[in-house]
Structures are given as structure tokens and as C-alpha cells.
Amino acid sequence: MIPEDLRYTAEHEWVAGGGGGPVRVGITHFAQDALGDIVYVQLPDPGTAVTAGESFGEVESTKSVSEIYAPLTGTVVARNDKLGEEPEVINTDPYGAGWLVEIEPADPAALDGLLTASAYRDLTAS
């Protein structure tokens, strides 16, 4: 369950978009499956600056608490407030309604440095 049209990070985040505007970010099916039932999500407010590779939030499950890492440097322009009431949507629809934030990248070309679906598939197979 690794959509071909997305980019990925080694920390199991996905990134959609890249046409010059904001990109949408979430955690992968692999990540939500490893976490188990998600019960709480902490996300940054719009306007928050994020740095690639640094933590910008948390996902809490019945098993553990995991950091969420920014795939790109930029500014958060939207967050999925629905997750405050229904964090389990990440488990049922990680690539759709379970998105986390939208980031306006400081450098849109940085998206090219993320993993392709094929490279992410290789990472999760090992």
C-alpha cells in the first residue's frame, strides 16, 4: 500500500503535491500499522516554521508515542483539525482523510530529494 504518486521519507512520512504550492504531509500505511490504534495527534499551528528532519508533532497510539518529522523546510499553512476529534482516521485512511499538515516549502525543489515509491518500498521490505 504505497501510492506511486507520492514522495516519502525514511521516517515514514508521505508528501503529496509539489506543483509549486503547498504540499500535504501524512504518515504512511506502514507507520500507522506499526503504531497500532492511534488515539491522539499533536500538530503545529498554521504559521509555524518547520525544518526538514526535525520533529514538528507527535502521534500517540495504544502502543507508543512517535515523533512526526518535517519532510521539508517551510511553513505550515494548514493542519487537519479533524484529527483532534477523530485521530483514528489515520489508521483507516492514512493517504486521504488522515493527512496531517500542509507545508509551503521554502525550496520546492527539495521535494526531488525525497524517496520515490520504489525506494520507499525497498526501505520497508528490509
| CA–CA dist 43, 54 (Å, integer) | 13
Structure confidence at residue 60 (pLDDT): 97
**DSSP designation for 110:** G
Structure confidence at residue 106 (pLDDT): 96
> pLDDT tens across 59-97, in order?
999 999 999 999 999 999 999 999 999 999 999 999 999
Burial tier of 16 (Cβ tally within 10 Å: 0-12, 13-18, 19+): middle
* Whether the predicted pLDDT of 1 surpasses 90: no
Band of residue 26 on the pLDDT scale cut at 50, 70, 90:
very high
Q: What percent of the chain has pLDDT over 90?
A: 94
Can you give the pTM of this predicted structure? 0.95
Fold of 23-125: OB fold (Dihydrolipoamide Acetyltransferase, E2P) (2.40.50)
Band of residue 25 on the pLDDT scale cut at 50, 70, 90:
very high
Distances (CA, A) of 49 to 22, 55, 99, 118: 13, 11, 18, 30
